[in-house]
């Protein structure tokens, strides 16, 4: 156990002395959690193999799941990569800083461990003044997976990070809750057309305004699909799971979904389980369970995304055994929300249309 230094910092105008303190840890091979616009990341110097190994260890992350590398300027991408296609360049110019991660061919400068032996690298420029200031002050690209223990829901507040990692990391820059709430979209630009490997904070619709973009089948899968190892290494691992079991109920008619959720609540309560319902403002009043939580309005999928991981953690804090979760529409950020929910459920999905 080490002492984790908690540095409260202004999200818009981070205090220079706190950023300097955090950057000293990074430069010395240490681990610092910091906010981005999506979720909190756990940072280490991406060019320091030992520091990156510490990062995997602190998170208990499998060594075959590479982190995302964070940069503060587009020009930093060029020394980390072999080739930047015109499409990749246009995407960076249009969507950075922002919740879009690009998969590119990596250069020899990047240590093997940072990319877990792959010949590609995931890079993004976060849209958060604290993250950008930390990268600038550290003077190196920062490898940062989400700052949770592997398999747990990603952290959207400093408290979430401390619950998982206090005593395992050197410091955290606490700038309050994150805005987007789900992680960045991972887009493979080594192929044409570019392909979304993980839906996230930059929606499919938004990317399509840019040009032709394809969706990898894993994005919408209702069961675990095995991608070739090199394409999307993280996808085979357990993800986003609270301690409670999660069951997702989906269907085209909302009233039928509500009936099924209530049926499942009854079923699990009869077995003596403590049952939670994860729903939306429109349906919240329809449920009775040990704990009923609304993600927000179905008409505001950005707030649904913002609330998702925090609510999954709240159910754990309340020691709920089973969470019955209503599906939400897959437009906009809803696609990322449903992808995370289905993974969190281990693909326990009930479709009421089939019945
Ligand atoms: O919003 C985010 O992306 C957050 C914040 C902290 O920036 N970071 C994040 O990192 O979610 P992480 O490590 O939890 O997720 C990285 C994802 C994983 O699914 C991983 O498999 C994928 O990116 N990835 C990393 N390198 C890759 C590569 N070379 N090819 C394909 N996928 C890659
Ligand atoms: Mg993660």
pLDDT digits (tens, 9 = 90+) for 31-85: 999 999 999 999 999 999 999 999 999 999 999 999 999 999 999 999 999 999 9
pTM for this prediction:
0.96
66 close to ligand 1 (CB < 6 Angstrom)? yes
CATH architecture of residue range(s) 245-354: 3-Layer(aba) Sandwich (3.40)
For 5-219, CATH number out of 3.90.870.10, 3.40.50.300, 2.60.300.12, 2.70.70.10 equals 3.90.870.10
pLDDT reading at 137 higher than 50: yes
- Mutating to test ligand 1, I would choose from 195, 234, 305 the residue with most ligand atoms within 8 A of its C-beta, which is 234
Q: pLDDT digits over 264-276, tens only?
A: 999 999 999 999 9
Residues 6+ apart with CB under 8 A from 57: none
Q: Which atom of ligand 1 is nearest to the CA of 126?
A: 7
CA 337 to ligand 1 centroid distance, Å: 16
Using the CB atoms, write b or e for 162-181: b if 16+ within 10 Å.
bbbbeebbbbbbbbebbbbb
**Any idea which ligand is nearest the CA of 64?**
1
Parse the chain into domains and list their residue ranges: 5-219, 245-354
Question: Are 73 and 89 within 8 A, CB to CB?
Answer: no
Tokens of 323: 């969470």
Q: For residues 166 and 177, what is the distance between their CA atoms, to the nearest angstrom?
A: 18
55 close to ligand 1 (CB < 6 Angstrom)? no
Tokens of 321: 């055994």
Q: What is the pLDDT of residue 355?
A: 66
Q: Which atom of ligand 1 is nearest to the CA of 180?
A: 1
**CA 177 to centroid of chain Cα atoms:** 14
Question: To 10 degrees, the CA torsion angle through 164, 219, 334, 188?
Answer: 90
pLDDT, averaged across the chain: 95
Q: pLDDT digits over 145-155, tens only?
A: 999 999 999 99
Residue count of the chain = 355
Alpha-carbon distance values, 308 to 36, 89, 180, 326 (Å): 16, 32, 10, 12
pLDDT reading at 282 higher than 70: yes
Mean pLDDT score, 326-339: 98
pLDDT reading at 230 higher than 50: no
Listed as own residue / partner, the contacts of 294-303 with beta carbons closer than 8 Å and 24 or more positions apart are 295/328, 295/337, 298/328, 298/329, 301/328, 301/329, 301/331, 301/332, 301/333, 301/334, 301/337, 302/180, 302/332, 302/333
Q: For residues 40 and 227, what is the distance between their CA atoms, to the nearest angstrom?
A: 27
Q: Compute the Cα dihedral for 13, 175, 198, 337 and give only its sign.
A: negative
233 close to ligand 1 (CB < 6 Angstrom)? yes
Q: For residues 17 and 117, what is the distance between their CA atoms, to the nearest angstrom?
A: 36
């Amino acid at each position: 156990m080490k002492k984790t230094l908690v540095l409260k910092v202004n999200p818009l105008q981070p205090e220079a002395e706190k950023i300097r303190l955090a950057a000293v840890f990074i430069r010395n091979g240490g681990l610092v959690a910091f906010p981005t616009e999506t979720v909190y990341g756990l940072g280490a110097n991406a060019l320091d193999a030992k520091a990156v190994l510490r990062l995997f260890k602190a998170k208990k992350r499998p060594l075959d799941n590479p982190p995302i590398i964070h940069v503060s300027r587009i020009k930093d991408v060029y020394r980390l990569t072999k080739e930047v296609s015109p499409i990749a360049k246009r995407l960076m110019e249009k969507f950075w800083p922002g919740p879009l991660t690009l998969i590119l061919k990596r250069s020899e400068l990047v240590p093997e461990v940072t990319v877990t032996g792959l010949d590609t690298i995931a890079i993004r420029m976060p849209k958060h003044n604290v993250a950008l200031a930390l990268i600038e002050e550290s003077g190196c690209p920062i490898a940062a997976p989400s700052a949770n223990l592997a398999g747990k829901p990603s952290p959207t507040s400093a408290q979430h990070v401390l619950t998982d990692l206090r005593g395992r990391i050197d410091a955290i820059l606490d700038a309050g809750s994150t805005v987007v709430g789900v992680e960045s979209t991972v887009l493979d630009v080594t192929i044409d057309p570019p392909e979304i490997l993980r839906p996230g904070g930059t929606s499919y619709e938004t990317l399509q305004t840019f040009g032709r973009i394809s969706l990898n089948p894993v994005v919408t899968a209702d069961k675990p699909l095995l991608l070739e190892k090199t394409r999307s290494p993280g996808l085979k691992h357990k993800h986003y799971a609270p301690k409670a079991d999660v069951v997702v109920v989906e269907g085209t008619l909302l009233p039928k979904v509500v009936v099924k959720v209530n049926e499942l609540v009854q079923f699990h309560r009869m077995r003596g389980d403590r049952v939670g319902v994860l729903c939306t403002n429109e349906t919240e009043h329809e449920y009775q369970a040990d704990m009923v939580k609304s993600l927000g309005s179905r008409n505001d999928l950005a707030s649904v995304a913002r609330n998702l991981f925090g609510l999954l953690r709240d159910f754990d804090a309340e020691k709920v055994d089973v969470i019955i979760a209503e599906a939400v529409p897959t437009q906009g950020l809803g696609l990322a929300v449903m992808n995370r929910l289905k993974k969190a459920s281990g693909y326990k999905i009930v479709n009421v249309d089939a019945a």
